[in-house]
Amino acid sequence: MSTFRNANPSDATRCFEIENAAYEGDEAATLEKISKRIEVYPDGFLILEEQGDIVGFINCGCAHEVEMSDEEFKELVGHDPDAPNVVIMSVVVDPAHQGKGLSRALMVEFVGRMKRMGKSTIHLMCKEHHVPLYEGFGYNYLQPSTSDHGGMTWHEMSMNL
């Protein structure tokens, strides 16, 4: 049974473990960044639990002007909870639970919550092989990103709500 909730500070360590297991090298957020995202914007940090265990999450910040390559924004510098544009920083499911449709369940719940909060757009960056996945969730491809976060090539996508 899947349940969704906003993150609490006590969730940071488990979320860091999942992020570290699912992302490559320097791509994963640090425990400090995850803790800060939970502390600063818990309404934008959605947890997915299966039988009481955290198995995935999405976290974000909000901005009036979206600059996807802004590394400081990943620490919520410039975040405004009342801004209309959502910028996703992580969409992650524990590798042991991947392939079960949980990322879709997370995204559907997240998009619904952002709509109810009156947000206008959702933006994210992903690797090339994930572009079709996000297109399937309703995102539109924008452009290759100027970001080289983690030494990788990224692609910018967005969804109008």
CATH number for the domain spanning 21: value is: 3.40.630.30
Can you give the pLDDT at residue 24? 72
| Strand blocks (E) in the chain | 2-6, 45-50, 53-63, 85-93, 121-126, 140-144, 155-160
Residues 6+ apart with CB under 8 A from 138: 111, 159
What is the rounded average pLDDT of the residues 9-18? 97
Per-residue pLDDT of 34-83, as tens digits, reads 999 999 999 999 999 999 999 999 999 999 998 877 778 888 888 999 99
Per-residue pLDDT of 126-149, as tens digits, reads 888 899 999 999 999 999 887 766
Single out the residue of 137, 1, 146 nearest to residue 58, CA to CA: 137
Number of domains forming the structure of the chain: 1
Domain, as residue range, for 65: 2-160
Tell me which of 25 and 77 has the higher pLDDT.
77
Tell me which of 123 and 75 has the higher pLDDT.
123
Of all residues in the chain, the percent with pLDDT exceeding 90 is: 74
pLDDT over threshold 70, residue 152: no
What three-state secondary structure class fits 44? helix
Can you give the pLDDT at residue 93? 96
Amino acid letter for position 81: P
